[in-house]
Amino acid sequence: MKKIFAIIKDKKRLHSILFEGNDPLSRPVDIFIMVCIGLCVLMASLESVVKVDDYSLQAIFHQELSGIGILKTCIIVLEYVLSILFTIEYILRVYCSPVKKDYVLSFFGIIDLLATLPQLLSIFFPPLRYLSIMRTFRLIRIFRVLKLFAFINEGYLLLESIRKSINKILVYFFFVVVLVCILGTLMFIVEGQIPGTEFTSIPKSIYWAIVTLTTVGYGDITPTTGLGQFLSGIVMILGYTIIAVPTGIVSASMIDTTKKKGQNGRCPRCNEKTDLNANYCKHCGERL
Amino acid sequence: MKKIFAIIKDKKRLHSILFEGNDPLSRPVDIFIMVCIGLCVLMASLESVVKVDDYSLQAIFHQELSGIGILKTCIIVLEYVLSILFTIEYILRVYCSPVKKDYVLSFFGIIDLLATLPQLLSIFFPPLRYLSIMRTFRLIRIFRVLKLFAFINEGYLLLESIRKSINKILVYFFFVVVLVCILGTLMFIVEGQIPGTEFTSIPKSIYWAIVTLTTVGYGDITPTTGLGQFLSGIVMILGYTIIAVPTGIVSASMIDTTKKKGQNGRCPRCNEKTDLNANYCKHCGERL
Amino acid sequence: MKKIFAIIKDKKRLHSILFEGNDPLSRPVDIFIMVCIGLCVLMASLESVVKVDDYSLQAIFHQELSGIGILKTCIIVLEYVLSILFTIEYILRVYCSPVKKDYVLSFFGIIDLLATLPQLLSIFFPPLRYLSIMRTFRLIRIFRVLKLFAFINEGYLLLESIRKSINKILVYFFFVVVLVCILGTLMFIVEGQIPGTEFTSIPKSIYWAIVTLTTVGYGDITPTTGLGQFLSGIVMILGYTIIAVPTGIVSASMIDTTKKKGQNGRCPRCNEKTDLNANYCKHCGERL
Amino acid sequence: MKKIFAIIKDKKRLHSILFEGNDPLSRPVDIFIMVCIGLCVLMASLESVVKVDDYSLQAIFHQELSGIGILKTCIIVLEYVLSILFTIEYILRVYCSPVKKDYVLSFFGIIDLLATLPQLLSIFFPPLRYLSIMRTFRLIRIFRVLKLFAFINEGYLLLESIRKSINKILVYFFFVVVLVCILGTLMFIVEGQIPGTEFTSIPKSIYWAIVTLTTVGYGDITPTTGLGQFLSGIVMILGYTIIAVPTGIVSASMIDTTKKKGQNGRCPRCNEKTDLNANYCKHCGERL
């Protein structure tokens, strides 16, 4: 306990634990936070299955003594515990930031706030528990899991490859959006006049075009006329063919990255470890 | 206003603004046109949702004063404004072209005409507003958005990669069409005789083959016999495997292009900018 | 007419026209045959739509004089004309082959026979027209279109790339078949006992596994239990990930082929045409 | 018979036949085992179709003399024969292993046991035949088929390519799982409140997200609101784009492997066979 207060007093150390991850304590703390987030996701899933509808503190003591009643009690208790933990985490993060505004207004600062606020407000003002839609915002807490990626070194090469080709992918993405609009409107012209058609409006037809071009194919909207089926056949083969483009982009970029760094960050000639941004191996001079 | 007329008088400058894009004014003009097209697409989508059925000028003043009525009025007014703008643009484009026939008969010349004509005709001859099917042609205006691609430099490398491999893709495309015909007829032989089958004719079976081979899988037509399910299983694994071919083509081409130009048009050795069609870096002599 | 007989008499020339394609006449002959095959495919499609049920010669004269009746007449007449043409072609091919057995027992020899025989038999023995299932074999004639690929030079590089990696693709194909069997049986264990399930037997569950793993996803068989949905979620992500493998195989092979021959069969250094199987450019000595 | 006992006595030889595959006898033995496994899979499939419900020895003699009755008899007899064969195989494998514990506790040792045990127990204790769910474990026997891959040399290169990139694929796999959780919960927020929605809980919404992101698209759960369709449109294009990532990973790795070993384990320069782990060709010194 004393130790914890000592750490909390030492703002610099606290900062390195919570933000930088180069302290011996930061690993267990990070893992603990992640387990909490995992529990949180599990709770949200369970809640939506067993349909918990009363989150007040009293509800904990008034559940039926059936299996589901006990599960509901566990969920509510855990909700409170997790809410308090996340609130403490948020306060500590703000507290140890050298420039508080920087953290509070950063991407993860806003997400951390959004993940804790609705729950807290519903504690102090019970009627707020009716803001059931607001409460669902808490689910965004799941985004925190994304922080996990900072842990995995392998992810770095992946991200680098994607970042390199992000421009081309965006151009491609934009092209797909335009194509989908054109195909959707074309399909609306062809099938929209048929009585009983599912192509009732252009946005819905665009939705169909996306479903088809990406080869998802729900089947909730399908062409019924011969011309419509012919056109959608073309859309499908088109989608099938242009699926190759982003793959080509990422492959080209990934091969480039792989070749530069070697498959495992090792020189392909002497097999010694190379720096990640080196152009020549520092051991044998091989061009990477 | 005066300035605008000065520009209109200077045919050469007008041409460079509207067609070439190397004038300081061409950028804002292009962006303005694109915003108009974007609005146009949005209008077409909204129209199909709220079902506007009267496009006469009087209709503007006779809408109900409900939310949808006001929306309808806005749509109709914007339709007229956009039609006039596009007409002016079309006239200016024809006017400033040195060889008028070249533009009018070019791909975008015809699309520009098709995008403006039906709307215009329905203004001057009110009964023409019943040509509702003709009016939908106006939706082709959406094709103009394709011009956007000329703006984005990144798109150039993409297009070059695709153009290089277009021959192989066409061969592949043709192969898929033939394959789909064969598989469709085979499936018609297998499932066509079953009472209550959805494989009622060969074209419909070919449509099914496309839906299946491209892994879209709507589920509106599915095999019911054991043999039919066995055959379609083979079709699926086949489609799953040959999806690799266009990807391989584009990847190979893209890697080739990337290697030649460097990832960002830079020499991989000295990292200086290289010319797009250079075979050797002009700074260090490295073969690109 | 005389000219035709002269050619027919010259067995060697006839052989080079029909089989080798290096005679000035072989191109038009091939195109003519292909047009006939195309017509044949079109006929088969139309037949299945308008449901022609009487193929006897008399039927030609007893159709109703409606649009569909005339169409039926055209179909029947064309059927006979095409049958005769294909029979003549088959006879000529057998006639001009130096070793007749070689052609008759070759892959295309058998297909050519199967494509002409059922039709012929139904002419001489009218009751044979009831062998409607046999008649559908005639649709295999569509396979002839595959011969088209020999015409297109671009296809050569494609085929070479695929042939190089055919071994790996077969291993992969076999792996997918095994995987699909395992996943299908697992799913049958999980979902097979539920009343009203669509997973009624293992072969049907394997069919489901193929539909899911290849990301086709008809939706005619879907899991309903939580465990079944969890398992199929894993199958989907698995399918999504292993789709990468054949793509990788073909890409690697295609890049290899492309690099060796240059993108257009030209040396990447001096840009001169290279031989297709050369390892070094014959103009500048560059290693290909 | 004598010969068989001689082999069984020679533990070393038996081990090399059953485990190592470098004995002249190991090939036919392996093929025999594989045929047995194939039969076993076929039996399991047939059983689930004809619904065999009594596996006792007496049942063999009490089947009706109809086609299905005879089929059932064959299935039951074959079941017993195969069970005995697999038991003998298991005993021999344990017997000839130098360190018995190593085999029994190895992956294939456990699978071999699980594949034989349930069947055996149901022979000695007839009431155990009601453990129908346990019996299905026997289907895991299918995993033995995976051993097939040891035969095919081509598979080695494939596995090497995949093993090299397994880390990256796992990171990607984890990323997809997180993404799917986020998208599922988002969709539950958007569509979960609509009456009659199919998005009844978060796990079900996550299932939907997997079905959509992997482009399977069953269509058993589909969005009905405009916002839901918009969001799922984004999910689809996202899934369509990120499908490129694992492909890129595997392609890069496969190209790397291919380049190192040559397409067929041959030096790209002198075309001589190279060792699989060589970095330089042992014939001409070319770097591989």
Q: What is the pLDDT of residues B272-284, one digit of tens each?
A: 666 555 556 666 6
With an 8 Å Cβ cutoff, are D216 and B219 in contact? no
Q: Determine how many CB atoms are found less than 10 A away from the CB of residue D270.
A: 13
Q: Does the pLDDT value for residue D140 go beyond 70?
A: no
Q: Does the pLDDT value for residue B147 go beyond 60?
A: no
Per residue in D91-120, pLDDT tens?
A: 888 888 888 888 888 767 776 776 677 666
Out of C215, C219, C247, closest to residue A219 by CB: C219
Write down the pLDDT at residue B135. 45
Q: Determine how many CB atoms are found less than 10 A away from the CB of residue B106.
A: 12
Could you tell me which of C249, C241, A41, A258 has the C-alpha nearest to residue D170?
Answer: C241
Task: Give residue B225's identity as a one-letter amino acid code.
Answer: T
Q: Which of the two residues, D90 and B270, has the higher pLDDT score?
A: D90
pTM above 0.80, yes or no: no
Nearest 5°: CA angle at C22, between C16 and C25?
75
Per residue in C20-37, pLDDT tens?
A: 766 777 777 777 877 777
Q: Are C13 and C92 in contact (CB under 8 A)?
A: no
Task: Give residue A122's identity as a one-letter amino acid code.
Answer: S
With an 8 Å Cβ cutoff, are A157 and D168 in contact? yes
Write down the pLDDT at residue C138. 46
Q: Which of the two residues, D160 and D55, has the higher pLDDT score?
A: D160
Distances (CA, A) of A76 to A40, A52, A90, C252, D22: 11, 8, 21, 54, 63
C-alpha dihedral (B268, B269, B270, B272), degrees to nearest 10: -20
Q: Distance between CA C90 and CA C83 in Å, rounded?
A: 10
Per residue in B8-26, pLDDT tens?
A: 888 888 888 777 766 777 7
Q: Does the pLDDT value for residue C85 go beyond 70?
A: yes
Distances (CA, A) of A29 to A24, A147, B32, B88, C145: 10, 13, 53, 66, 67
First to last CA, chain B: 52
3-class secondary structure, A11: helix
Out of D217, D247, D251, closest to residue B217 by CB: D217
Q: Could you tell me which chains touch chain A, where touching means 3 or more CB pairs under 8 A?
A: B, C, D
With an 8 Å Cβ cutoff, are A174 and B207 in contact? no
Residue D66 to chain C, least CA–CA distance (Å): 21
Q: Tell me the pLDDT band of B248, cut-offs 50, 70 and 90.
A: confident
- C201 part of contact set with chain B, CB < 8 Å: no
Chain C residues inside the 8 Å CB shell of A233: none
Write down the pLDDT at residue B128. 46
Out of D181, D216, D218, closest to residue A142 by CB: D181
DSSP string, D25-63: THHHHHHHHHHHHHHHHHHHHHHHHHT----SGGGGGSS
Chain D residues inside the 8 Å CB shell of C202: 44-45, 47-49
> Among all residues of chain B, which has the CA nearest to that of A205?
B45
A96-110, A273-287, B193-207 — most confident range:
B193-207
> Among all residues of chain A, which has the CA nearest to that of B175?
A237
Write down the pLDDT at residue B283. 66
Q: Which of the two residues, A272 and D4, has the higher pLDDT score?
A: D4
Write down the pLDDT at residue A209. 92
Q: Does the pLDDT value for residue D146 go beyond 60?
A: no
Q: Which of the two residues, B157 and D46, has the higher pLDDT score?
A: D46
With an 8 Å Cβ cutoff, are A210 and D237 in contact? yes
Q: Does the pLDDT value for residue A11 go beyond 90?
A: no
Based on DSSP, count helices (H) and strands (E) in chain C, helices before strands: 12, 0
Residue B111, both tokens: 């699309």
With an 8 Å Cβ cutoff, are D48 and C192 in contact? yes
Q: Does the pLDDT value for residue C208 go beyond 90?
A: yes
Chain D residues inside the 8 Å CB shell of B217: 216-217
Chain A residues inside the 8 Å CB shell of C215: 215
Per residue in B171-230, pLDDT tens?
A: 777 778 878 887 888 888 788 878 888 888 888 998 999 999 888 888 889 998 889 999
Per residue in D220-264, pLDDT tens?
A: 899 988 899 999 998 888 887 777 788 788 888 777 776 655 445
With an 8 Å Cβ cutoff, are A174 and B243 in contact? no
With an 8 Å Cβ cutoff, are D202 and A154 in contact? no
**What's the whole-number mean pLDDT along residues A154-180?**
75
Q: Are B60 and B73 in contact (CB under 8 A)?
A: yes
> Among all residues of chain B, which has the CA nearest to that of A189?
B136
Helices A226-242 and A202-213: angle between axes, nearest 10 degrees: 50
Q: Which of the two residues, C210 and D239, has the higher pLDDT score?
A: C210
- C233 part of contact set with chain D, CB < 8 Å: yes
Write down the pLDDT at residue C6. 83
Q: Are D158 and D203 in contact (CB under 8 A)?
A: no
A269, exposed or middle or buried, with CB in 10 Å at 0-12, 13-18, 19+? middle
- C233 part of contact set with chain A, CB < 8 Å: no
Out of D171, D206, D219, closest to residue A158 by CB: D171
3-class secondary structure, C86: helix
Q: Are B234 and C177 in contact (CB under 8 A)?
A: no
Write down the pLDDT at residue D186. 81
Please give the helix or strand (H or E) that residue A103 lies within, else none: helix A100-104
- B with D: how many residue pairs have Cβ under 8 Å apart? 9
Q: Determine how many CB atoms are found less than 10 A away from the CB of residue B127.
A: 8
The mean pLDDT of chain B is 74
C-alpha dihedral (D12, D16, D17, D21), degrees to nearest 10: -170
Secondary structure (H, E, C), A79-97: HHHHHHHHHHHHHHHHHHC
Q: Distance between CA A282 and CA A266 in Å, rounded?
A: 11
**What's the whole-number mean pLDDT along residues D69-84?**
81
3-class secondary structure, C1: coil
Residue B62 to chain A, least CA–CA distance (Å): 24
Q: Distance between CA B273 and CA B265 in Å, rounded?
A: 6
- C175 part of contact set with chain A, CB < 8 Å: no
Write down the pLDDT at residue D45. 78
With an 8 Å Cβ cutoff, are A218 and D222 in contact? yes
Substitution target in B251, B253, B259 with the highest count of D β-carbons within 10 Å is B251
Residue A202 to chain D, least CA–CA distance (Å): 12
Q: Tell me the pLDDT band of C170, cut-offs 50, 70 and 90.
A: confident
Residue D157 to chain A, least CA–CA distance (Å): 16
**What's the whole-number mean pLDDT along residues B94-98?**
87
Write down the pLDDT at residue B175. 75
Residue A58 to chain C, least CA–CA distance (Å): 32
Secondary structure (H, E, C), chain B: CHHHHHHHHCHHHHHHHHHHCCCCCHHHHHHHHHHHHHHHHHHHHHHHHHCCCCCCHHHHHCCCCCHHHHHHHHHHHHHHHHHHHHHHHHHHHHHHCCCHHHHHCCHHHHHHHHHHHHHHHHHHCHHHHHCHHHHHHHHHHHHHHHHHHHHCCHHHHHHHHHHHCHHHHHHHHHHHHHHHHHHHHHHHHHHCCCCCCCCCCHHHHHHHHHHHHCCCCCCCCCCCCHHHHHHHHHHHHHHHHHCHHHHHHHHHHHHHHHHHHCCCCECCCCCCECCCCCCECCCCCCEC
Q: Which of the two residues, A126 and A92, has the higher pLDDT score?
A: A92
**What's the whole-number mean pLDDT along residues A208-220?**
90
Least confident range of A175-189, B95-109, B136-150: B136-150
Q: Distance between CA A263 and CA A3 in Å, rounded?
A: 44
Q: Are B240 and C244 in contact (CB under 8 A)?
A: no
Q: Tell me the pLDDT band of C46, cut-offs 50, 70 and 90.
A: confident
Q: Tell me the pLDDT band of D74, cut-offs 50, 70 and 90.
A: confident
With an 8 Å Cβ cutoff, are A202 and B49 in contact? yes
Write down the pLDDT at residue B138. 46
Helices A154-164 and D244-261: angle between axes, nearest 10 degrees: 100
A22-36, A43-57, C184-198, D49-63 — most confident range:
C184-198
With an 8 Å Cβ cutoff, are C171 and D154 in contact? yes
- B227 part of contact set with chain C, CB < 8 Å: no
Q: Distance between CA D288 and CA D267 in Å, rounded?
A: 7
Write down the pLDDT at residue A134. 44
Substitution target in D251, D254, D255 with the highest count of B β-carbons within 10 Å is D251
Could you tell me which of B26, B9, B38, B44 has the C-alpha nearest to residue B119?
Answer: B44
A26-35, C131-140, D219-228 — most confident range:
D219-228
**What's the whole-number mean pLDDT along residues C136-149?**
50
With an 8 Å Cβ cutoff, are B229 and C207 in contact? yes
In chain B, pLDDT over 90 holds for what percent of residues? 3
**What's the whole-number mean pLDDT along residues D136-156?**
51
Per residue in B41-59, pLDDT tens?
A: 777 778 778 776 666 666 6
With an 8 Å Cβ cutoff, are A216 and C219 in contact? no
Tally of CA atoms within 13 A in the half-sphere of A31 that contains its CB: 4
Write down the pLDDT at residue C82. 81
Write down the pLDDT at residue D232. 92
Q: Distance between CA A241 and CA A218 in Å, rounded?
A: 20
With an 8 Å Cβ cutoff, are D178 and A148 in contact? yes
- B with C: how many residue pairs have Cβ under 8 Å apart? 143
**What's the whole-number mean pLDDT along residues C238-263?**
73
- C278 part of contact set with chain D, CB < 8 Å: no
Q: Which of the two residues, C261 and B166, has the higher pLDDT score?
A: B166
Q: Tell me the pLDDT band of C88, cut-offs 50, 70 and 90.
A: confident
Write down the pLDDT at residue A119. 64
Residue C33 to chain A, least CA–CA distance (Å): 26
Q: Distance between CA B150 and CA B128 in Å, rounded?
A: 36
